[in-house]
Structure 1
Amino acid sequence: MNGMQLNSPVLITGASHGLGMATASVLASEGVPLALCARNAAPLNEFAEKLRAEFDVPVATRALDVNDTELMVEFVHEAQRRLGDLKGLVANVGGARGRSIVDTEPDDWAYSLSVNVTSAMTALRASLSQLRRTGGAAVLVSSISGTKPSPGLAYGSTKAALNHAATVLGRELGPAGVRVNAVAPGSMLIPDRNWDRLRLADPGRYEAFLEEFPNRELLDPRDVAEVIAFLLSDKAKAINGAVIPVDGGQNAPSAYGY
């Protein structure tokens, strides 16, 4: 057990695949009620049914785009009505548009900032009164690209902003009993996602990328999820305002340069 109080719900954004799904599974296995959101209803609801059947935990779901501020706030309040005050928040959704400075338009910057930073701040702000009452914690999912350079200017820059937000919020909200930390995962091998597609489409480049890892393996999302669960738990009460790298010692964040 990671020390989560049972019957204390956690809200996870981007919960229908990859790290969000792995985090939900880890928490559900410990009896934690969950509020899960993602853009596509079908896979989200299918996953929620699986968690209910396997772990007998309450799971509230909502299909939404985290960039829709009104819907994000509504879901935070809906989660409270259905499950009680939140004990934890995992702001997991991420993405970006544009690559180099030349091909990144102002709208690309706006989108990247919204999906990586503003959506996380919206969810945290909306859930803050609940987290204060429960003495809860938030984990902001950043990236190795927030501290190590790789192609994708807007992605890395906005993840760096998320890291900074965690350090500021740890100070700002600590007096209210709310902890905020960021987790910076390395490259994860997720079925039918970027690095898995590279593995199948370009085995030579993928094998070269493995040299960036001391153990020549990309990360399993569950290993990152275990760290997130720990940071949400009371056992991590001394960790606040930190950016925790969970990258297996990875060097370059990308198979495509730098």
Structure 2
Amino acid sequence: MGTTELSGKVALVTGAARRGGIGRTTALLFADLGADVACLDVARAPWHAPGHGVGSPDELAELVAEIEAKGRRAIAVTADVTQAAQVDAAVDRTVRELGRLDICCAMAGGVGFGNGIAPLLSLDEPSWDWVIDVNLKGAWLTAAAAGRAMVAAGRGGRIVTIASSAALIGANGSTGMGAYAAAKAGVITLTQTLAAELGPHGITVNAVSPGMIGTQASAPVREHFERSGRTEAVIESIPLRRFGEADEIASIVAFLCGDGASYITGDAINATGGKVLG
């Protein structure tokens, strides 16, 4: 029977710094399961939206210290996932300093008010470019760089991307999430294509599509629901009648990276509390 035991494995997790975020929670869970972790984050706000919430260098250093306190090895990697040279260097450094690369989780991404949440007819070009680049291009660059390293090593591997229920719900015209929905729909197709290309090398590639998760990143949206009096209606639209938690997503990711998911590839697992079915 397969397990999610990850002893002896090395994982690269992008978007890892922010406290309480899915990336950070996943990195810590991997350490609990026995893996060493390369923790990657850009650790700075985008130039066009300086108020956009992101992880900080201090949070990245703190994460590494937490993982080391669990008895695992960890490195802090500051890199921009939209820049191929930086992503390639991050993968090379992971292999050089931690000895191998077995797992890659492309979790960097995001959207926000003033940075991508707006009707498409009024969305500014820098916000469109950032949302597409960090969510879709970043997933491609990260997965491709990791995939090349895994193919070269010849040991197989696991790659997980983060999509979103926004890519699956056909009502984005009234949410201002059009750019994000387009990017995350692309992530799902990207994941399926990579799964087909990398399968012959023993590498699985899967996506997780979260719904509304109670993280710092989603706080502005949840506060918007509260101000507009929509929170109760939003929760009522979720069969489980609550928002999700970061550790619930991290657990799915860990499962996909363990032996128990060895015959799952090219899938996009919905984690929406039932809001998206099938």
Q: Partners in 1 of 2:240 and 2:209 — Cα distance?
A: 18
Tell me the equivalent position of 2:23.
Answer: 20
Q: 2:64 aligned to 48, 65, 81, which one? A: 48
Unaligned 5+ segments in structure 2 are 44-55
**CA positional deviation for 1:247:** 1.1
Q: 2:256 aligned to 231, 239, 244, which one? A: 231
Report which stretch shifted further, 126-135 or 240-249. Answer: 126-135
- Structure 1 residue runs of 4+, over 4 Å off? none
Matched, 1:186 2:211: yes
In structure 2, give the amino acid aligned to 1:76. Answer: V
**CA positional deviation for 1:87:** 0.6
- Percent identity between the aligned chains? 27
Report which stretch shifted further, 212-221 or 184-193. Answer: 184-193
In structure 2, give the amino acid aligned to 1:86. Answer: L
Q: Partners in 2 of 1:142 and 1:16 — Cα distance?
A: 19
Is 1:27–1:229's contact at 8 Å kept on the other side of the alignment?
yes
Which structure has greater helix proportion? Answer: 1
Partner SS state of residue 241, structure 2? coil
In structure 1, give the amino acid aligned to 2:223. Answer: L
User: Could you say what the CA RMSD is over the residues aligned between the two structures, in angstroms?
Assistant: 2.2
Relative to structure 1, is the Cα distance of residues 197 and 101 closer, same or farther in structure 2, using a 3 angstrom cutoff?
closer
- Report the TM-score when normalising by structure 1: 0.89
Is 2:241–2:273's contact at 8 Å kept on the other side of the alignment?
no
Q: How far does the alpha carbon of each residue in 1:15-63 deviate from its partner, in whole angstroms, 9 at most, with x for none?
A: 112100111121111111000111231111112101211x110011112
**CA positional deviation for 1:173:** 1.0
Report which stretch shifted further, 99-108 or 12-21. Answer: 99-108
Q: 1:212 aligned to 205, 227, 237, which one? A: 237
Is 2:235–2:241's contact at 8 Å kept on the other side of the alignment?
yes
Q: Partners in 2 of 1:109 and 1:24 — Cα distance?
A: 29
Is 1:189–1:195's contact at 8 Å kept on the other side of the alignment?
no
Matched, 1:63 2:78: yes
Partner SS state of residue 230, structure 2? helix
In structure 2, give the amino acid aligned to 1:230. Answer: F
